[in-house]
Structure 1
């Protein structure tokens, strides 16, 4: 597996979460961001930082380094989604983490994606295929996490992760309009 660019390093965002005493998870935060972007919303950096702070639900404020990292995450995620290379890096623990930890994080990512995607108002109805993807993501978000380390579980995880990646790119492609909506933070996310 290729080295993950530092901007998508799970541990980097886990440290930000820890620094602010966050309730939220890094994978869920990234999933939420990608969900909003996929649904067609665009946020300015100030709005994104406000949304991120709310999602993290921490006791402390983001440091300047944390703010920079989150802005880099926003910019890199939008660039990957908008690119033509079918690239999308999910913020998940690396392959050295236990399979149940990675599986739980993928479930959190899908949960965050659904929340972010659902917050964006769309005028067009989704295709049957897109509706199916959202149902699949809902099922993945409820994933069993008491898995043993086995080749079969590893293969299953990789297949599901690849499905999530490709399905997200399909949703992004379907939901983009010529005039992306500027999103504003909601009054409350809870």
Structure 2
């Protein structure tokens, strides 16, 4: 597996359960990405940081959660926008996929808030994007849908992906750039 490829959702979920993290794989990935986008460090003990619980064990080196961290940090920093969300595949029911996307958004908001704090230097576009993520995080999945709902979910997933990259650029990358200038 390439260093920038996310581990399987089932592997992340299994390691999360083994560590008793109490969050779905998608929510954990969202929290990690929010943490990284908000300027948080890419460190092996990231679950304790993004879950704000220092009793959480550090994931095993090269385990699913460690690979998730490494791949996510690499993808977010990739200038070719090769960033993926860890979500159920397209064969899963629409309700499961949309619920996982809303969980991802909830996780992202929490991780971003922990890392970025007030982040008063956010651009207007980034503040709007955070508001859009908050609305998605508050949404509930519907039980079933048609082809139009499938298309809408695909568009929302792409929007969320772009928002994560925008916020990462606005906060984490801008901070790195400012640090290099000083």
TM-score bracket, shorter-length normalisation? 0.7 to 0.9
Structure 2 regions of 5+ residues with no counterpart? none
Structure 1 regions of 5+ residues with no counterpart? 182-190
TM-score, length-normalised on structure 1? 0.79
> Which residue of the partner structure matches residue 162 of structure 1?
158
Aligned residues: 172
> Which residue of the partner structure matches residue 11 of structure 1?
10
TM-score, length-normalised on structure 2? 0.82
Residue 89 of structure 1 and its aligned partner are, at CA, apart by 0.9
- Whether 1:145 and 2:144 are equivalent positions in the alignment is no
- Whether 1:118 and 2:117 are equivalent positions in the alignment is no
Separation of aligned partners in 1, 2:170 and 2:52: 28
Report if the CA contact (8 A) 2:31-2:112 is conserved: yes
- Whether 1:96 and 2:57 are equivalent positions in the alignment is no
The alignment partner of 1:44 has SS state of coil
Describe the shift of the 1:51–1:87 C-alpha distance in structure 2 as closer, same or farther (beyond 3 A): same
Residue 17 of structure 1 and its aligned partner are, at CA, apart by 2.9
Separation of aligned partners in 1, 2:46 and 2:102: 22
The alignment partner of 2:90 has SS state of coil
Report if the CA contact (8 A) 2:50-2:110 is conserved: no
Separation of aligned partners in 2, 1:33 and 1:88: 13
> Which residue of the partner structure matches residue 125 of structure 2?
129
The alignment partner of 1:149 has SS state of coil
Residue 87 of structure 1 and its aligned partner are, at CA, apart by 1.3
Flag as ranges the 4+ runs of structure 1 deviating above 6 A: 52-55
CA RMSD of aligned residues (A): 2.7
Residue 150 of structure 1 and its aligned partner are, at CA, apart by 1.2
Residue 149 of structure 1 and its aligned partner are, at CA, apart by 3.4
